[in-house]
Amino acid sequence: PSTLGSFLRAFDHGNVRQLAAVGRRVLAELASRTPLLPGGQQLAFIDVDSTQKRVYGPAKQGAAFGHTKIASKSLTVRGLNALAAAVSTPLAAPVVTTARLRGGNAASARGAASLVAESITTSRDAGISGLIVARGDSAFYTGAFVSACRRNNAHFSVTARMDPKIRRAITGIDETAWTPIKYPNAIFDEQAQQWISDAEIAEVGYTAFASSKTHRVDARLIVRRVKRLNRKAAAQGQDELFATYRYHAVFTDSPFGLVEAESQHRGHAIVEQVFADLFDGPLAHLPSGRFHANAAWLQLAVTAHALTRALGVLASPRHAVARGATIRNELISVACRPARSGRDQITWHLPESWPWEYAWLNTFDATHRGPPATAA
């Protein structure tokens, strides 16, 4: 092929899956050679979500109208849909384990069960030997997704849809069971040793997907309620006659306590940071009009993301959790001056008084170790 575009257009579905397999092996090798996922021997999270990559050409294969959010507003835009999973630990930034490109009108949960199973296997290959909790939003509240997690020895934590059965379960929670939690605008009462907050949580046993023999699950329903405040009335000194709440339910088999399990589920939002990194880098565009070419591009973007994260952990603690754009700007896109000696030796002169000099040298030393000395 004469250009990268013609090279990508030669890919078919089998080639895309081969690229995905290569990416998984690269991630496993990086994790074995760098501290990419510290803390994975105790606990790791796998976050699954989908995103709509907007495109403007109606001739682009697979492009269709789908749901997305722009500036916190729900919109329907033409694009291609990507389903991805990322693994993280309490000590490590998320790293994409697997991703798939789909048509723009694909439902979020389509193929999620097989994807989360693949992600769990990839995470185990990358050295995650401890507890795994797979997290997802209400789009992944399906029997197939939950069963896939359980079959692969992982726990699940998914936002439950507010259907009539869930509402009945919430109504049955005793008023004394609600516990205040740390939440935006909360205040900790030192005397009472508890949070004074508009948010409270409680839990109740719940059976989901009861109509399906293969997917029926008995687990915990954790509910967070937040007061609905009429700020205009409060500003005028009008007290409420009775409190009204917004309810958020989480269906989980997490072995952690109520407060910790609820807080961990809210951490699922970190997957949006992964998408932001991808869109700020290789997925700024889907370069081809061919679907399989763009699917191959997505797999290459996933591999590049893993390499960037590994570079960050080798550089410094700050870069280990930095945005992908920060790592590229400070450690990769480096201005330097090459000089050639009389013996054809090339010397690269790097900037002086450079703030990230030692971070860059850390990565250089880690990746350019000489071969081990051999006995004479």
Query: DSSP character for 72?
Result: T
- Distance between CA atoms of residues 278 and 52, nearest Å: 12
Spatial contact of 88 and 45, defined as CB atoms under 8 Å apart: yes
* Confidence (pLDDT) at 374: 65
Q: In 34-161, which residue ranges form alpha helices assigned H by DSSP? A: 112-125, 143-151
Output the CA angle 96-318-350, nearest 5 degrees. 100
Spatial contact of 311 and 354, defined as CB atoms under 8 Å apart: no
* Confidence (pLDDT) at 342: 74
Spatial contact of 299 and 20, defined as CB atoms under 8 Å apart: yes
Task: Give residue 122's identity as a one-letter amino acid code.
Answer: T
Spatial contact of 94 and 40, defined as CB atoms under 8 Å apart: no
* Confidence (pLDDT) at 343: 75
The DSSP-derived string for 306-370 is: HHHHHHHHHH-HHHHTS-HHHHIIIIIS---EEEE-TTS-EEEEPPSS-TTHHHHHHHHHHH-PP
Going by C-alpha positions, the residue among 212, 183, 210 that lies closest to residue 198 is: 183
* Confidence (pLDDT) at 41: 95
Tell me whether strands 131-136 and 43-54 are parallel, antiparallel or unpaired. Answer: parallel
* Confidence (pLDDT) at 245: 83
Going along the chain from its start, the domains and CATH numbers come out as 4-327 (3.90.350.10)
How many other C-beta atoms can be found within 10 angstroms of the C-beta atom of residue 128? Answer: 25
* Confidence (pLDDT) at 144: 96
| Segment 189-218, tens digit of pLDDT | 566 566 666 788 999 999 999 998 899 999
Spatial contact of 50 and 326, defined as CB atoms under 8 Å apart: no
* Confidence (pLDDT) at 191: 60
Give the sign of the dihedral formed by CA 209, CA 214, CA 215, CA 216.
Answer: positive
Give the sign of the dihedral formed by CA 112, CA 114, CA 117, CA 122.
Answer: negative
pLDDT by residue for the chain (376 residues), tens digit each? 568 889 889 999 999 999 999 999 999 999 999 999 999 999 999 999 999 999 988 889 999 999 887 766 788 899 999 999 999 999 999 999 999 999 999 999 999 999 999 999 999 999 999 999 999 999 999 999 999 999 999 999 999 999 999 999 999 999 999 988 877 766 665 665 666 667 889 999 999 999 988 999 999 999 999 877 655 545 555 555 556 788 999 999 999 999 999 999 999 999 999 999 999 999 999 999 999 999 999 999 999 999 999 999 999 999 999 999 999 999 999 888 989 887 778 888 888 888 999 999 999 999 887 656 666 5
* Confidence (pLDDT) at 345: 85
- Distance between CA atoms of residues 91 and 99, nearest Å: 23
